[in-house]
Chains A and B, each alone.
Chain A
Amino acid sequence: MEILKPAVAGTLESSDAQVTVEPGGEGIELSLQSSVMNQYGRQIRQTVLDTLARLEVRDAKITVVDKGALDCTLKARVECAVFRSCGASASGIPWGGAVR
């Protein structure tokens, strides 16, 4: 998928994450802040990159401010931000396809 415009999903509440995607240059540019960085930073990074790969996002600037979200929450916030960025959040979500 192609990131067409900036979009945000999620909040800064405890146990949530706020994900911002913007059109970027070549490749994925990920900036990550987390309240649990020392113990889960590596896993959060991996989850975000895996989710982007599954959605076939190849070029994007993505900012994640994590407040201790579980993996399922992180995935959902990344997916939502990506679909919002290409105007697909009202319809056309590939339930059971890329989103499962």
Chain B
Amino acid sequence: MKNAVGREIPDYLLAGGKEVYQGKNYMDGKYIQKASPRTRRYEKPQESKLVDSIKAALEQCGAKDGMTFSFHHHLRDGDYVVNMVMAAAIEELGLKDLTIAATSLGNAHDPIADYIEQGKVIGIQTSGIRGRMGEVVSAGKLKTPAIIRSHGGRPRAIEAGEVHIDIAFVAAPTSDCVGNCRGIGGKSNCGSMGYAMTDAKYADHVVVVTDCLVDFPNMPASVEAIDVDAVVVVDSIGNPKKIASAAARISQNPRDLMMAEDVARVIASTPYFKDGFSFQTGVGGPSLAANLFLERYMDERNIKMGWAIGGICGPMVELLKKGKVGKVIDVQDFDLDAVNSINQTPGHYEMSASQYANPANKGAFVNKLDFVVLAALEIDTGFNVNVLTGSDGVLRGAPGGHPDTAAGSKVCIIVTPLTRGRMATVCEHVVTVTTPGDCVDVLVTDYGIAVNPLRPDLIECLDKAGIPHVTIESLKEKAYSLVGRPDDLQWEDQVVAVLEARDGTILDVVKKIKPYQG
């Protein structure tokens, strides 16, 4: 069946009442029955929940074949915990038919590709999928299609019982002996632990893995001892150098700066740019640089930002310290400046993934967002964005909070160069739709700005401010005139990944790629 972004979804995926994507806010007002975990009572007072090894923790939680293990990605490319746990489960306990449900996965998890090829890991549910894991899944080696969700779609699916977590593993920079966890105070700090929160509340069992045991009580706790079964102390949970970069630097690339300046001009031309406005930006070159130019417009008009959300990095913390933004609410930290600021700088708070972006709760932060500035691997003439699959059709990205912030915000701006190498970023049809075009409002490229025709109000704003803009079709033609028109990718029938919209409907599927036939 064809969905609202024109993608053909195979009928067998719609068994059990799954629906295809119908457009933004389709599920509004519907009721859901929340799932509840089956948890063990620890009524008799325990001095400590420390166990000797991950293997012992798995045994205590009744780990067996066919289970779903959850992980969170705050340790980013420095994470050791996913590989450590899966090695204990598969190599020490001999478990099989396991599903990994992670908030995201990256290059740090290349060894999991082997477990997929051996058929030990048969399911992957994640936001990001990259590196060797992306390659083996794209090659059709995972037994069931991977399920890709946004950061808001994941807590929605967990709460709805579509993902049942048997054991959640919390990678904790610090923990006390009963499992109160924080993201700071240890040797592998990550700051916010927002993505772990929903997992810990909805999992049957929760195991904390830490490399820094601290005195009880470790407060204020991000994951609380009341949800934790066992605590394991290991030598290291991750490589601090890859967890958080020294400082996210603002790009010096003139092309990035030119696009960032245009982003700020567009923002400043809208009626939402007024005292107390709210804002989220990514950490990519031009997105991050937009902060710099936006600050100039704020000074010029003598207004302040009310609040900012998202993955947080140094430049946003800097604005908070200067008093130019009222509050920063943080689900994940990207650099040490942000890690060292959370719960320390007044006004810098932690939030859960559900609070950040879940479309099925009673009002996530993204719903109050005025502006979001995001990047794209590809954007097509229907304003549909792809941030998941490379131009060769292989999984190598993550929707992250992209679809959530785009849908919730009043103005969603995509900033991207028109071409990257030989690839046209603005194209006729994106390989995979990860953010539907009805949520995307403005495209800023190095060759011009385009406004979604669904937003005549924004077109008027740009016209009044004298900001030139063109049609997205003309940007696509410009791109193809530079790099040539690409051939269509060739696919097998096998679906290797299902891309869920944030509301749980099916937005797109990724099929097995057919190798190039010369």
Co-complex (A, B): yes
Residues of chain A whose beta carbon lies under 8 Å from any beta carbon of chain B: 14-15, 32, 35-43, 45, 67-71
- Highest count of chain A CB atoms <10 Å: which of B393, B421, B482: B421
**Cα distance A32–B331 when bound, in Å?**
45
Contact of A38 among B421, B483, B516 (CB under 8 A): B516
- In the complex, the answer to whether A39 meets B392 with C-beta atoms within 8 Å is yes
- In the complex, the answer to whether A71 meets B484 with C-beta atoms within 8 Å is yes
A35 partner residues in chain B, CB cutoff 8 A: 421
Kindly state whether residue B489 has any CB partner on chain A within 8 Å. Answer: yes
- In the complex, the answer to whether A15 meets B421 with C-beta atoms within 8 Å is yes
Residue of A nearest to B391 (CB): A39
- In the complex, the answer to whether B489 meets A38 with C-beta atoms within 8 Å is yes
B391 partner residues in chain A, CB cutoff 8 A: 36, 38-39
Q: How far is the CB of A13 from chain B (nearest CB, A)?
A: 10
Kindly state whether residue B423 has any CB partner on chain A within 8 Å. Answer: yes
Q: How far is the CB of A49 from chain B (nearest CB, A)?
A: 12
Secondary structure at chain B's binding surface: helix, strand, loop or mixed? loop
**Cα distance A96–B199 when bound, in Å?**
68
Residue of B nearest to A16 (CB): B421
Interface string of B489-518 (1 = CB under 8 A from A): 110000000000000000000000100101
B518 partner residues in chain A, CB cutoff 8 A: 32, 41, 45
Q: What are 18 A-B pairs at a CB distance below 8 A? A: A14-B421, A15-B422, A35-B421, A36-B392, A37-B392, A37-B516, A38-B391, A38-B487, A39-B486, A40-B422, A40-B484, A41-B487, A42-B487, A43-B487, A45-B518, A68-B423, A70-B482, A71-B484
Q: A36-B422, A38-B513, A40-B422 are in contact. Are A70 and B489 (CB under 8 A)?
A: no
Interface size on B, residues (CB 8 A): 16
B423 partner residues in chain A, CB cutoff 8 A: 36, 39, 68
- In the complex, the answer to whether B421 meets A67 with C-beta atoms within 8 Å is yes
Contact of A70 among B392, B483, B490 (CB under 8 A): B483
**Cα distance A38–B138 when bound, in Å?**
14
Residue of A nearest to B420 (CB): A68
Interface string of B423-455 (1 = CB under 8 A from A): 100000000000000000000000000000000
A38 partner residues in chain B, CB cutoff 8 A: 391-393, 487, 489-490, 513, 516
14 more A-B residue pairs beyond the given contacts A38-B489, A39-B489, with a C-beta to C-beta distance below 8 A = A36-B391, A36-B392, A36-B486, A37-B392, A37-B516, A38-B392, A39-B423, A40-B422, A40-B484, A42-B487, A43-B484, A43-B487, A45-B518, A68-B423
- In the complex, the answer to whether B392 meets A69 with C-beta atoms within 8 Å is no
A70 partner residues in chain B, CB cutoff 8 A: 422, 482-484
Q: How far is the CB of A44 from chain B (nearest CB, A)?
A: 9
Residue of A nearest to B514 (CB): A38
Residue of A nearest to B422 (CB): A68
B489 partner residues in chain A, CB cutoff 8 A: 38-39
**Cα distance A69–B484 when bound, in Å?**
11
Residue of A nearest to B392 (CB): A38
Q: How far is the CB of B74 from chain A (nearest CB, A)?
A: 31
**Cα distance A89–B429 when bound, in Å?**
43
Q: How far is the CB of B364 from chain A (nearest CB, A)?
A: 37
**Cα distance A70–B513 when bound, in Å?**
24
B484 partner residues in chain A, CB cutoff 8 A: 40, 43, 70-71
Q: How far is the CB of B359 from chain A (nearest CB, A)?
A: 34
Q: How far is the CB of A43 from chain B (nearest CB, A)?
A: 6
**Cα distance A68–B486 when bound, in Å?**
12
Q: How far is the CB of B447 from chain A (nearest CB, A)?
A: 15
B393 partner residues in chain A, CB cutoff 8 A: 38
Residue of A nearest to B394 (CB): A38
Residue of B nearest to A68 (CB): B421
A32 partner residues in chain B, CB cutoff 8 A: 518
**Cα distance A73–B489 when bound, in Å?**
24
**Cα distance A7–B139 when bound, in Å?**
37
B516 partner residues in chain A, CB cutoff 8 A: 37-38, 41
